[in-house]
Amino acid sequence: MNKEIENIKELKDQSVIKTGEMVLNMGPQHPSTHGVLRLKIHTDGEVVSKIEPILGYLHRCFEKHCESLSYEQIVPFTDRCDYLASMHMDHAYSMTVEKLLDIELPERVEYIRVIVAELQRIASHLIAVGAFGLDVGAITPFTWTLRDRERILDLFEQLCGARLLYNYIWPGGLSHDLPPKFIDRTLEFIEYFEPKIVELNQLLTGNKIFIERSADVGILPAEVGINYGVSGPSLRASGVNYDLRKDEPYSIYSKLDFDVPVGKGEMGTVGDCWDRYYVRVLEMSESIKILKQVCKNIPDGDVQAALPKKIRPSKGEVYGRYESARGDVGFYIISNGKNIPLRVKMRSPAFCNLSVLSEISEGWMISDVIAILGSLDIVLGEIDR
Protein backbone atom coordinates (compact mmCIF):
# COMPACT_ATOMS: atom_id res chain seq x y z
CA MET A 1 0.00 0.00 0.00
CA ASN A 2 1.59 3.29 -0.96
CA LYS A 3 1.58 6.59 0.85
CA GLU A 4 -1.09 8.40 -1.15
CA ILE A 5 -3.64 5.65 -0.58
CA GLU A 6 -2.83 5.63 3.13
CA ASN A 7 -3.40 9.37 3.24
CA ILE A 8 -6.74 9.01 1.50
CA LYS A 9 -7.76 6.26 3.92
CA GLU A 10 -6.79 8.46 6.87
CA LEU A 11 -8.81 11.40 5.57
CA LYS A 12 -11.77 9.12 4.99
CA ASP A 13 -11.58 7.70 8.49
CA GLN A 14 -11.70 11.23 9.86
CA SER A 15 -14.74 11.90 7.63
CA VAL A 16 -12.92 14.79 5.97
CA ILE A 17 -13.77 13.47 2.51
CA LYS A 18 -16.88 11.51 1.73
CA THR A 19 -16.90 9.03 -1.12
CA GLY A 20 -19.38 6.52 -2.45
CA GLU A 21 -18.96 3.47 -4.64
CA MET A 22 -18.79 4.16 -8.32
CA VAL A 23 -18.75 1.65 -11.15
CA LEU A 24 -16.34 2.59 -13.88
CA ASN A 25 -16.37 0.91 -17.26
CA MET A 26 -13.07 0.27 -19.02
CA GLY A 27 -13.05 -1.22 -22.48
CA PRO A 28 -13.85 -3.19 -24.61
CA GLN A 29 -12.22 -0.65 -26.91
CA HIS A 30 -9.45 0.57 -24.67
CA PRO A 31 -5.77 0.48 -25.62
CA SER A 32 -4.66 -0.64 -22.18
CA THR A 33 -6.78 -3.78 -22.12
CA HIS A 34 -4.53 -5.44 -24.74
CA GLY A 35 -7.39 -6.48 -26.95
CA VAL A 36 -11.11 -6.51 -26.44
CA LEU A 37 -11.55 -6.96 -22.73
CA ARG A 38 -14.08 -5.10 -20.68
CA LEU A 39 -13.43 -4.34 -17.04
CA LYS A 40 -16.15 -3.26 -14.67
CA ILE A 41 -14.17 -1.47 -11.99
CA HIS A 42 -15.88 -0.82 -8.67
CA THR A 43 -14.14 2.13 -7.11
CA ASP A 44 -14.39 4.05 -3.91
CA GLY A 45 -13.09 7.49 -4.78
CA GLU A 46 -10.12 6.48 -6.87
CA VAL A 47 -9.33 3.34 -4.92
CA VAL A 48 -10.39 0.09 -6.55
CA SER A 49 -12.49 -2.27 -4.45
CA LYS A 50 -13.39 -4.94 -6.99
CA ILE A 51 -12.94 -5.68 -10.69
CA GLU A 52 -15.26 -7.80 -12.79
CA PRO A 53 -13.60 -8.75 -16.07
CA ILE A 54 -16.16 -9.39 -18.83
CA LEU A 55 -14.80 -11.71 -21.48
CA GLY A 56 -15.98 -13.25 -24.68
CA TYR A 57 -15.70 -10.41 -27.18
CA LEU A 58 -13.18 -12.45 -29.17
CA HIS A 59 -14.85 -15.84 -28.75
CA ARG A 60 -14.43 -17.75 -32.02
CA CYS A 61 -15.79 -21.15 -30.95
CA PHE A 62 -12.40 -22.88 -31.14
CA GLU A 63 -13.58 -25.87 -29.13
CA LYS A 64 -16.78 -26.25 -31.16
CA HIS A 65 -14.86 -26.06 -34.43
CA CYS A 66 -12.55 -28.83 -33.23
CA GLU A 67 -15.49 -31.22 -33.05
CA SER A 68 -15.92 -31.11 -36.82
CA LEU A 69 -12.29 -30.96 -37.94
CA SER A 70 -9.74 -33.72 -38.31
CA TYR A 71 -6.67 -33.63 -36.09
CA GLU A 72 -4.43 -32.12 -38.78
CA GLN A 73 -6.90 -29.38 -39.59
CA ILE A 74 -6.96 -28.10 -36.01
CA VAL A 75 -3.36 -26.81 -36.13
CA PRO A 76 -4.19 -23.55 -37.97
CA PHE A 77 -6.90 -22.90 -35.38
CA THR A 78 -4.47 -23.30 -32.48
CA ASP A 79 -2.28 -20.70 -34.24
CA ARG A 80 -5.04 -18.18 -33.87
CA CYS A 81 -5.57 -18.83 -30.16
CA ASP A 82 -2.46 -17.10 -28.92
CA TYR A 83 -1.50 -14.96 -31.87
CA LEU A 84 1.65 -13.61 -30.19
CA ALA A 85 3.08 -17.07 -29.55
CA SER A 86 1.59 -19.23 -32.30
CA MET A 87 4.53 -21.63 -32.36
CA HIS A 88 3.93 -22.48 -28.71
CA MET A 89 0.29 -23.31 -29.34
CA ASP A 90 1.16 -25.48 -32.36
CA HIS A 91 3.85 -27.21 -30.35
CA ALA A 92 1.57 -27.80 -27.37
CA TYR A 93 -1.22 -29.22 -29.50
CA SER A 94 1.09 -31.36 -31.62
CA MET A 95 2.79 -32.76 -28.54
CA THR A 96 -0.56 -33.74 -27.06
CA VAL A 97 -1.67 -35.51 -30.24
CA GLU A 98 1.69 -37.28 -30.40
CA LYS A 99 1.19 -38.42 -26.81
CA LEU A 100 -2.20 -39.80 -27.84
CA LEU A 101 -0.72 -41.56 -30.88
CA ASP A 102 2.46 -42.57 -29.04
CA ILE A 103 4.93 -41.67 -31.80
CA GLU A 104 8.67 -41.19 -31.52
CA LEU A 105 10.02 -38.16 -33.32
CA PRO A 106 13.31 -37.85 -35.23
CA GLU A 107 15.83 -35.89 -33.19
CA ARG A 108 16.14 -33.15 -35.78
CA VAL A 109 12.44 -32.34 -35.41
CA GLU A 110 12.84 -31.86 -31.66
CA TYR A 111 15.84 -29.58 -32.15
CA ILE A 112 14.08 -27.42 -34.74
CA ARG A 113 11.00 -27.22 -32.53
CA VAL A 114 13.08 -25.98 -29.60
CA ILE A 115 14.78 -23.38 -31.81
CA VAL A 116 11.49 -21.95 -33.05
CA ALA A 117 9.88 -22.16 -29.60
CA GLU A 118 12.69 -20.19 -27.97
CA LEU A 119 12.74 -17.61 -30.77
CA GLN A 120 9.00 -17.28 -30.28
CA ARG A 121 9.43 -16.88 -26.53
CA ILE A 122 11.80 -13.97 -27.12
CA ALA A 123 9.39 -12.41 -29.62
CA SER A 124 6.44 -12.74 -27.26
CA HIS A 125 8.35 -11.40 -24.25
CA LEU A 126 9.55 -8.44 -26.33
CA ILE A 127 5.92 -7.47 -26.90
CA ALA A 128 5.07 -8.07 -23.23
CA VAL A 129 7.96 -5.98 -21.98
CA GLY A 130 7.49 -3.20 -24.53
CA ALA A 131 3.73 -2.99 -24.08
CA PHE A 132 4.11 -2.92 -20.31
CA GLY A 133 6.43 0.06 -20.70
CA LEU A 134 3.82 1.66 -22.94
CA ASP A 135 1.12 1.06 -20.32
CA VAL A 136 3.02 2.96 -17.66
CA GLY A 137 4.00 5.77 -19.99
CA ALA A 138 7.32 4.83 -21.60
CA ILE A 139 6.83 5.00 -25.35
CA THR A 140 10.36 4.58 -26.71
CA PRO A 141 11.01 1.03 -25.41
CA PHE A 142 7.97 -0.26 -27.29
CA THR A 143 9.32 0.90 -30.64
CA TRP A 144 12.72 -0.55 -29.79
CA THR A 145 11.37 -3.95 -28.81
CA LEU A 146 9.15 -4.05 -31.91
CA ARG A 147 12.23 -3.38 -34.02
CA ASP A 148 14.01 -6.38 -32.50
CA ARG A 149 10.93 -8.58 -32.77
CA GLU A 150 10.80 -7.78 -36.47
CA ARG A 151 14.11 -9.64 -36.89
CA ILE A 152 12.53 -12.77 -35.40
CA LEU A 153 9.44 -12.43 -37.61
CA ASP A 154 11.77 -12.15 -40.62
CA LEU A 155 13.42 -15.40 -39.57
CA PHE A 156 10.01 -17.09 -39.31
CA GLU A 157 9.03 -15.72 -42.70
CA GLN A 158 12.07 -17.42 -44.22
CA LEU A 159 11.12 -20.56 -42.37
CA CYS A 160 7.51 -21.02 -43.45
CA GLY A 161 6.35 -17.96 -45.34
CA ALA A 162 4.16 -16.57 -42.55
CA ARG A 163 4.98 -13.86 -40.08
CA LEU A 164 2.38 -14.43 -37.37
CA LEU A 165 0.30 -17.57 -37.94
CA TYR A 166 2.72 -20.26 -38.96
CA ASN A 167 1.05 -23.68 -39.16
CA TYR A 168 4.64 -24.91 -39.00
CA ILE A 169 4.62 -27.59 -36.30
CA TRP A 170 2.43 -30.51 -37.26
CA PRO A 171 1.53 -33.58 -35.22
CA GLY A 172 4.41 -35.94 -36.04
CA GLY A 173 6.80 -33.48 -37.61
CA LEU A 174 7.11 -30.13 -39.32
CA SER A 175 5.69 -28.64 -42.48
CA HIS A 176 9.15 -27.76 -43.89
CA ASP A 177 12.75 -28.41 -43.10
CA LEU A 178 14.93 -25.43 -42.22
CA PRO A 179 15.82 -23.22 -45.19
CA PRO A 180 19.54 -23.01 -46.10
CA LYS A 181 21.61 -20.82 -43.77
CA PHE A 182 18.78 -20.55 -41.21
CA ILE A 183 21.11 -21.54 -38.37
CA ASP A 184 23.66 -18.93 -39.45
CA ARG A 185 20.96 -16.28 -39.52
CA THR A 186 19.73 -17.33 -36.08
CA LEU A 187 23.27 -17.02 -34.73
CA GLU A 188 23.53 -13.62 -36.38
CA PHE A 189 20.33 -12.60 -34.64
CA ILE A 190 21.66 -13.78 -31.27
CA GLU A 191 24.79 -11.73 -31.80
CA TYR A 192 22.65 -8.71 -32.67
CA PHE A 193 20.16 -9.21 -29.84
CA GLU A 194 22.41 -9.83 -26.83
CA PRO A 195 23.56 -6.19 -26.52
CA LYS A 196 19.96 -5.07 -26.99
CA ILE A 197 18.98 -6.62 -23.64
CA VAL A 198 21.65 -4.50 -21.96
CA GLU A 199 20.27 -1.51 -23.83
CA LEU A 200 16.73 -2.31 -22.67
CA ASN A 201 17.92 -2.58 -19.09
CA GLN A 202 19.55 0.84 -19.32
CA LEU A 203 16.50 2.37 -20.95
CA LEU A 204 13.64 0.87 -18.95
CA THR A 205 14.56 -1.60 -16.20
CA GLY A 206 16.55 0.83 -14.11
CA ASN A 207 14.53 3.90 -15.05
CA LYS A 208 13.44 5.72 -11.90
CA ILE A 209 10.01 6.73 -13.23
CA PHE A 210 9.37 3.18 -14.36
CA ILE A 211 10.38 1.75 -10.98
CA GLU A 212 8.11 4.25 -9.21
CA ARG A 213 5.18 3.07 -11.28
CA SER A 214 5.79 -0.66 -11.05
CA ALA A 215 7.75 -1.59 -7.92
CA ASP A 216 5.67 -2.51 -4.86
CA VAL A 217 2.49 -2.32 -6.96
CA GLY A 218 0.03 -5.21 -7.33
CA ILE A 219 1.83 -7.76 -5.22
CA LEU A 220 0.86 -11.35 -5.97
CA PRO A 221 1.75 -13.65 -3.04
CA ALA A 222 2.89 -17.13 -4.09
CA GLU A 223 0.05 -19.02 -2.34
CA VAL A 224 -2.59 -16.80 -3.90
CA GLY A 225 -1.04 -17.27 -7.33
CA ILE A 226 -0.99 -21.06 -6.99
CA ASN A 227 -4.56 -21.13 -5.68
CA TYR A 228 -5.76 -19.11 -8.65
CA GLY A 229 -3.87 -21.31 -11.10
CA VAL A 230 -1.52 -18.55 -12.23
CA SER A 231 1.45 -19.92 -14.17
CA GLY A 232 4.39 -18.91 -16.28
CA PRO A 233 6.46 -15.76 -15.70
CA SER A 234 3.64 -14.20 -13.65
CA LEU A 235 3.89 -16.98 -11.05
CA ARG A 236 7.67 -17.25 -11.19
CA ALA A 237 7.89 -13.56 -10.35
CA SER A 238 6.28 -14.44 -7.02
CA GLY A 239 9.29 -16.62 -6.23
CA VAL A 240 7.82 -20.00 -7.22
CA ASN A 241 10.28 -22.07 -9.20
CA TYR A 242 7.72 -23.71 -11.47
CA ASP A 243 8.68 -24.21 -15.07
CA LEU A 244 7.51 -27.24 -17.01
CA ARG A 245 10.70 -27.19 -19.05
CA LYS A 246 12.49 -28.17 -15.82
CA ASP A 247 9.79 -29.87 -13.76
CA GLU A 248 8.40 -32.16 -16.45
CA PRO A 249 10.95 -31.86 -19.24
CA TYR A 250 9.47 -32.49 -22.67
CA SER A 251 11.20 -32.51 -26.06
CA ILE A 252 14.96 -32.12 -25.48
CA TYR A 253 14.86 -29.66 -22.60
CA SER A 254 16.31 -32.20 -20.16
CA LYS A 255 19.55 -32.17 -22.16
CA LEU A 256 19.88 -28.39 -22.11
CA ASP A 257 21.53 -26.21 -19.55
CA PHE A 258 19.52 -23.17 -18.50
CA ASP A 259 18.23 -21.49 -15.36
CA VAL A 260 14.72 -20.59 -14.32
CA PRO A 261 14.65 -16.92 -13.26
CA VAL A 262 12.39 -16.19 -10.30
CA GLY A 263 11.35 -12.89 -8.77
CA LYS A 264 13.57 -11.68 -5.95
CA GLY A 265 11.97 -8.35 -5.14
CA GLU A 266 15.06 -6.36 -6.04
CA MET A 267 13.19 -3.07 -6.35
CA GLY A 268 10.38 -3.70 -3.90
CA THR A 269 8.44 -6.72 -2.75
CA VAL A 270 8.58 -10.19 -4.28
CA GLY A 271 5.75 -10.60 -6.79
CA ASP A 272 5.19 -6.95 -7.69
CA CYS A 273 4.75 -5.61 -11.21
CA TRP A 274 8.43 -4.86 -11.57
CA ASP A 275 9.31 -8.46 -10.77
CA ARG A 276 6.83 -9.74 -13.33
CA TYR A 277 8.45 -7.44 -15.86
CA TYR A 278 12.02 -8.33 -14.97
CA VAL A 279 11.48 -12.10 -14.97
CA ARG A 280 10.53 -11.78 -18.65
CA VAL A 281 13.69 -9.83 -19.41
CA LEU A 282 15.79 -12.49 -17.68
CA GLU A 283 13.94 -15.25 -19.51
CA MET A 284 14.96 -13.75 -22.83
CA SER A 285 18.62 -14.18 -21.83
CA GLU A 286 17.91 -17.78 -20.85
CA SER A 287 16.27 -18.42 -24.22
CA ILE A 288 19.41 -17.12 -25.91
CA LYS A 289 21.47 -19.51 -23.81
CA ILE A 290 19.25 -22.39 -25.00
CA LEU A 291 19.40 -21.26 -28.64
CA LYS A 292 23.21 -21.21 -28.56
CA GLN A 293 23.35 -24.81 -27.33
CA VAL A 294 20.74 -26.11 -29.74
CA CYS A 295 22.14 -24.38 -32.83
CA LYS A 296 25.55 -25.92 -32.14
CA ASN A 297 24.36 -29.53 -31.94
CA ILE A 298 21.53 -29.76 -34.46
CA PRO A 299 21.59 -33.23 -36.10
CA ASP A 300 20.70 -34.15 -39.70
CA GLY A 301 17.65 -36.11 -40.69
CA ASP A 302 14.27 -36.11 -42.38
CA VAL A 303 11.76 -33.90 -40.55
CA GLN A 304 8.74 -35.64 -42.06
CA ALA A 305 9.83 -39.23 -41.40
CA ALA A 306 7.39 -39.73 -38.50
CA LEU A 307 4.48 -37.83 -40.01
CA PRO A 308 1.46 -40.15 -39.86
CA LYS A 309 -0.48 -40.60 -43.12
CA LYS A 310 -3.78 -40.39 -41.33
CA ILE A 311 -4.30 -39.52 -37.70
CA ARG A 312 -6.77 -41.95 -36.19
CA PRO A 313 -5.93 -42.50 -32.52
CA SER A 314 -7.48 -45.32 -30.55
CA LYS A 315 -10.11 -44.52 -27.92
CA GLY A 316 -8.78 -42.63 -24.94
CA GLU A 317 -8.10 -39.33 -23.30
CA VAL A 318 -4.91 -37.38 -22.89
CA TYR A 319 -3.88 -34.22 -21.09
CA GLY A 320 -0.78 -32.56 -22.47
CA ARG A 321 1.04 -29.69 -20.80
CA TYR A 322 3.40 -27.16 -22.26
CA GLU A 323 5.28 -24.11 -21.02
CA SER A 324 4.34 -21.26 -23.33
CA ALA A 325 5.40 -17.64 -23.09
CA ARG A 326 2.39 -16.90 -20.90
CA GLY A 327 2.40 -20.05 -18.82
CA ASP A 328 1.10 -23.55 -18.59
CA VAL A 329 -0.91 -24.47 -21.72
CA GLY A 330 -2.92 -27.65 -21.49
CA PHE A 331 -4.82 -29.59 -24.12
CA TYR A 332 -7.35 -32.17 -23.01
CA ILE A 333 -8.27 -34.35 -25.97
CA ILE A 334 -10.84 -37.15 -25.96
CA SER A 335 -10.69 -39.52 -28.89
CA ASN A 336 -13.45 -41.92 -29.83
CA GLY A 337 -11.42 -43.81 -32.42
CA LYS A 338 -12.38 -41.63 -35.38
CA ASN A 339 -10.27 -39.13 -37.29
CA ILE A 340 -12.19 -36.31 -35.62
CA PRO A 341 -11.76 -35.72 -31.89
CA LEU A 342 -14.78 -36.04 -29.60
CA ARG A 343 -13.68 -33.11 -27.49
CA VAL A 344 -10.75 -30.72 -27.41
CA LYS A 345 -10.44 -28.48 -24.40
CA MET A 346 -7.71 -25.91 -24.13
CA ARG A 347 -6.47 -24.72 -20.79
CA SER A 348 -5.45 -21.19 -21.46
CA PRO A 349 -2.78 -19.74 -19.18
CA ALA A 350 -3.85 -16.12 -19.67
CA PHE A 351 -7.42 -17.08 -18.67
CA CYS A 352 -6.21 -18.18 -15.23
CA ASN A 353 -3.73 -15.31 -14.96
CA LEU A 354 -6.51 -12.81 -15.60
CA SER A 355 -8.78 -14.34 -12.95
CA VAL A 356 -6.40 -13.13 -10.24
CA LEU A 357 -6.68 -9.48 -11.37
CA SER A 358 -9.55 -8.58 -9.04
CA GLU A 359 -7.73 -10.04 -6.04
CA ILE A 360 -4.43 -8.22 -6.53
CA SER A 361 -5.90 -4.91 -7.69
CA GLU A 362 -7.95 -4.42 -4.55
CA GLY A 363 -6.86 -1.30 -2.73
CA TRP A 364 -4.88 0.16 -5.62
CA MET A 365 -5.69 3.18 -7.74
CA ILE A 366 -7.17 3.04 -11.23
CA SER A 367 -3.84 4.01 -12.83
CA ASP A 368 -2.23 1.07 -11.02
CA VAL A 369 -4.79 -1.32 -12.48
CA ILE A 370 -3.38 -0.49 -15.91
CA ALA A 371 0.10 -1.38 -14.70
CA ILE A 372 -1.10 -4.61 -13.04
CA LEU A 373 -3.02 -5.69 -16.14
CA GLY A 374 -0.03 -4.90 -18.35
CA SER A 375 2.32 -6.89 -16.13
CA LEU A 376 0.09 -10.00 -16.33
CA ASP A 377 0.66 -10.04 -20.12
CA ILE A 378 -2.70 -11.28 -21.30
CA VAL A 379 -3.65 -12.14 -24.89
CA LEU A 380 -7.37 -12.01 -25.46
CA GLY A 381 -7.28 -14.39 -28.39
CA GLU A 382 -6.24 -17.09 -25.98
CA ILE A 383 -8.58 -16.15 -23.15
CA ASP A 384 -11.71 -16.14 -25.29
CA ARG A 385 -10.59 -18.84 -27.72
Partner 1 sequence: MFSEIKKLLDAGYNQKYTTKDGIDAIFVQPENWLDIATFLKENKDLGFDYLMCISSYDLNNGIYGVAYNLYSNSKKYYLEVRVEVESDVAVPSISSLWRSADWHEREAFDMMGIVFEGHPNLKRILLSDDWEGHPLRKNYKEPDYYHGLPVPKDKSYWE
Q: Which residues bind partner 1 (CB under 8 A)?
A: 55-56, 59, 61, 63-64, 67, 226-229, 240, 242, 247-248, 316-317, 319, 321, 328, 330, 332, 334, 342-343, 345, 347, 351-352, 355, 359, 384-385
* Minimum CB–partner distance for residue 39 and partner 1 (Å): 14
Least Å distance between CB 285 and partner 1?
25
Taking the least distance from each CB to partner 1, the nearer of 178 and 219 is: 219
Taking the complex as a whole, the smallest distance from the CB of residue 33 to partner 1 amounts, in Å, to 16
Nearer to partner 1 among residue 176 and residue 315 (C-beta): 315
- For residues 125 and 331, give the distance between their C-alpha atoms in angstroms, rounded to a whole number: 22
Of the candidates 178, 204, 376, the one whose C-alpha atom is nearest the C-alpha of residue 281 is 204
Q: Residue 268 or 330: which CB sits closer to partner 1?
A: 330
**113 in Cβ contact with 91 (< 8 Å):** yes
Give the torsion through C-alpha atoms of 263, 269, 275, 279, to 10 deg. Answer: -10
Q: Kindly tell me which of 95 and 155 has the beta carbon lying closer to partner 1.
A: 95
What does DSSP say about strands 343-347 and 328-335: parallel, antiparallel, or unpaired? antiparallel
Nearest to partner 1 of 120, 358 (CB atom): 358
Contacts 24+ apart (CB under 8 A), 60-66: 60/384, 60/385, 61/385, 62/346, 62/385, 63/343, 63/344, 63/345, 63/346, 63/385, 66/341, 66/343, 66/344
Nearest distance in Å: CB 158, partner 1: 32
Q: Minimum Å distance from CB 317 to partner 1? A: 7
**Please, which residue, 1 or 54, has the CB nearer to partner 1?**
54
Nearest in space to 115 (alpha carbons), one of 306, 235, 294: 294
Q: Whole-number minimum distance, CB 184 to partner 1, in Å?
A: 39
Tell me whether residue 190 or residue 334 sits nearer to partner 1 (CB atom).
Answer: 334
Closest CB 160 distance from partner 1, rounded Å: 25
What Rg do the C-alpha atoms of the chain give, in angstroms?
Answer: 22
